[in-house]
Amino acid sequence: MAVTGLPAILALMGERLRPKKRRLSREKSKEDAVRAEQHAADEGKKANTRRASDWWVRTTTNHPWLTIVAVTALVALMTVPAINLRIALPDNGVEDEDTMPRQTYDLVAEQFGPGANGPLVIIGDIVTSQDPLGLMDDLRHEVEALPSVSEVQIATPNRSADLGVIVVIPEEGPESVATENLVHKLRDIAPQWESEYDIADIKVTGAAAVTIDVSERLFDALIPFGSVVVGLSLVLLLIVFRSIWVPIKATLGYLFSVGAAFGMTTLVFIDGFANDLLLIGQVGPVISFMPIILMGVLFGLAMDYELFLVSRMSEDYVHTGEARKSIRTGFRASAPVVVAAALIMMSVFSGFIPDGSFYVQPIAFGLLVGVGVDAFLVRMTLVPAVMQILGDRAWYIPKWLDRILPVFDVEGTGMDLRLKHLDWERRFGEVVARADNITIGDREGDLVSGAEMVIRPGDVIRLEGSPIAQEAMLGALGARIRPTTGSIFVFDISALDEASRVVRRTAYLDDRFTSLEKTDKPTLFLVNRPLRESERVKILENVKAGGALVLGPENHDFFEDETNYVVPSPIDEVVSAK
């Protein structure tokens, strides 16, 4: 809806979205005066908000190391309780005391022991046994001798005497650590019983065992799931911000928020701290799905807050080139949005804590803490401090990595360059192509440096200078090579942001691309080989119709009225110095 439906609706409505101009009258002037007073009051509130934002960002950036140490210590302290995090699939023991399932659960635990709510079932193939009854009696004694076993209710073969069944009642409830250890003990000792009693395929199951298995599978999935989430955030932010440090900082901040959320949830729901104060009334393992749900939802919200805050800093840095000043201007503009978004989500999550079920409460509480920590401690406190220390290094990216990454113009830089290009054309006339401050390089250094080139309709331009620099310039004009810096527009299309459209409006001819496709539109021809006569005729006709021709080092054909352009290259300077 946001990226497809809304732009379509705005395009359909057009100018009708603008408010109609009204003629002032005496009656309306009073209304306007009231509105003016209200507007002034609103502006005063905004000024107060800006002052608060200014004070906060100045405080964090004036003492960046102190801020980083304080936030890291606080988050670490909040994360420590997560060591005791236990997950399970809650049973009827977490229901409200006035419900029938809870009353039944408590009655069974009172009369038959807590383990009766989660009996374990052991089955095995005894088809080869000559004395199935004696075998099952021996297994009963083996099971009863194990710790944490309250009793063995049943130990018997089935009617066909090919399957043995043992029902075990643990001493403690199905969510206890002792019951979990008992399940693992039974499974560990099963191979020994199989060899000793000639039994095949012993399995330990039952509702409690299934709950333990599901919880362990989900817990084991946390690291792979977290790795995918962290890796995804690194890649996406690397593409968006064209920076190494910004994605690393954002991802570490996300891990801070997740750790604090896990720690505080463990402290309240498992350790019982402030449990009654929050009107929860239950202490025990949290639902197994909580960690994965919390990590997924918090990832989306954390990346939203990061984009809100840092994208404005990035935009200001692109336009001003002042890294530390951009921190403050970007923070001042986007901090109110982050605060509002975080408070909305926190109010929503907090509503599920006092009145929600024990299944939902840990998830809501974890998200409440996670959003609060992420928005106010990580994004609005830690991020400005880290960015202040990094300075210009915050926006560093290796040239080779910048070239291979796709381009997402989040800051609107491409639109700004296009508007400047169109303004340049209005002042200086129409062009087929225009290169502004182009630098092209590879891992070994720059091939082209500071190229400024204007190609007008009907131009035939022969490149001069280093052959490799000429070929790089041809590739950049045809959107086959991405420049390191600068901008190129071909028929008012950005070669950096819309390379595929530029490729369709250019014809690149060299030893690899030998065919000349038919075109009805004016085209920019980039030629780096000798032309056949038929090609020459077609190209000149197109050039007369508004196209242009640029010749590379491998073309030695003669054209009337051709002009020369020396491609500026550090390679020529090195050769001249030698």
At 149, which amino acid appears? V
How high is the pLDDT of residue 446?
85
pLDDT at 572 over 70: no
How close are the terminal C-alpha atoms of the chain, in Å? Answer: 61
The Cα-based distances of 32 to 38, 41, 42 in angstroms read 10, 14, 15
How high is the pLDDT of residue 358?
77
At 341, which amino acid appears? A
Tens digits of residue pLDDT in 282-327: 787 888 888 999 999 999 999 999 988 998 888 888 777 788 889 9
Report, as an integer, the average pLDDT of 485-508: 89
pLDDT at 577 over 70: no
Q: How confident is the model at residue 500 (pLDDT cuts 50, 70, 90)?
A: confident
How high is the pLDDT of residue 550?
96
| Angle separating helix axes 323-350 and 26-62, nearest 10 degrees | 110
- The CA-based angle 151-157-159, given to 5 degrees, is 135
Q: How confident is the model at residue 175 (pLDDT cuts 50, 70, 90)?
A: confident
Tens digits of residue pLDDT in 448-466: 999 999 999 999 999 999 9
Give the highest mean pLDDT range of 11-20, 35-44, 169-178, 318-327.
Answer: 169-178
149 forms bridges with which residues in the sheet? Answer: 170
Report, as an integer, the average pLDDT of 243-253: 91
463 forms bridges with which residues in the sheet? Answer: 565
pLDDT at 575 over 70: no
Report, as an integer, the average pLDDT of 246-267: 94
pLDDT at 340 over 80: yes
* Four-residue CA torsion sign, 163, 112, 268, 303: positive
In the chain, % of residues over pLDDT 90: 46
pLDDT at 470 over 90: yes
Report the alpha-carbon distance of residue 374 to residue 381 in Å, rounded: 10
Using DSSP's 3-state secondary structure scheme, residue 47 falls into helix
Q: How confident is the model at residue 409 (pLDDT cuts 50, 70, 90)?
A: low
Name the phi and psi angles at 252, rounded to 5.
-65, -35
pLDDT at 194 over 60: yes
Q: Are 334 and 431 in contact (CB under 8 A)?
A: no
**List of E strands, 194-267:** 200-205
Any idea which of 31-35, 117-121, 147-151, 529-533 has the lowest mean pLDDT?
A: 31-35
pLDDT at 137 over 70: yes
How high is the pLDDT of residue 252?
93
Report the alpha-carbon distance of residue 113 to residue 105 in Å, rounded: 10
Q: Cβ contacts of residue 22 below 8 Å, gap of 6+?
A: 28
Tell me which of 3.50.50.60, 3.40.50.1220, 3.40.50.300, 3.40.47.10 is the CATH number of domain 412-577: 3.40.50.300
Phi-psi region of 482 (alpha: psi -120 to 50; beta: other; left: phi over 0): beta
**The token pair that represents 206 in the structure block:** 């039952």
Q: Are 332 and 57 in contact (CB under 8 A)?
A: yes
Q: How confident is the model at residue 37 (pLDDT cuts 50, 70, 90)?
A: low
Better-predicted residue by pLDDT, 41 or 79:
79
Q: How confident is the model at residue 513 (pLDDT cuts 50, 70, 90)?
A: low
Q: Are 547 and 443 in contact (CB under 8 A)?
A: no
How high is the pLDDT of residue 29?
54
How high is the pLDDT of residue 499?
84
pLDDT at 23 over 80: no
How high is the pLDDT of residue 31?
57
How high is the pLDDT of residue 279?
75
Any idea which of 48-62, 96-110, 398-412, 547-561 has the lowest mean pLDDT?
A: 398-412
Q: Are 465 and 399 in contact (CB under 8 A)?
A: no
| Fold (topology level) of 52-84+223-395 | Multidrug efflux transporter AcrB transmembrane fold (1.20.1640)
pLDDT at 190 over 80: yes
Report the alpha-carbon distance of residue 407 to residue 254 in Å, rounded: 24
Name the phi and psi angles at 513, rounded to 5.
-105, 95
Q: Are 536 and 544 in contact (CB under 8 A)?
A: no
Tell me which of 1.10.357, 3.30.1330, 3.30.70, 3.90.1690 is the CATH number of domain 92-218: 3.30.70
Q: Cβ contacts of residue 566 below 8 Å, gap of 6+?
A: 463, 464, 465
The reply to whether 52-84+223-395 and 92-218 are identical in fold is no
Give kind and range of the element (H or E) at residue 454.
Answer: strand 445-455
How high is the pLDDT of residue 47?
55
pLDDT at 44 over 80: no
What stretches of 81-153 show up as alpha helix (H) in DSSP? 100-112, 132-144
pLDDT at 415 over 80: no
Maximum Cα interatomic distance, the chain, rounded to a whole number of Å = 109
Q: Cβ contacts of residue 74 below 8 Å, gap of 6+?
A: 377
Using DSSP's 3-state secondary structure scheme, residue 364 falls into helix
Report the alpha-carbon distance of residue 376 to residue 336 in Å, rounded: 11
Domain segments of the chain as ranges = 52-84+223-395, 92-218, 412-577
What's this model's pTM, rounded to 2 decimal places?
Answer: 0.70
Question: How many CB atoms within 10 Å of residue 181?
Answer: 15
Q: What is the mean pLDDT of the chain?
A: 86
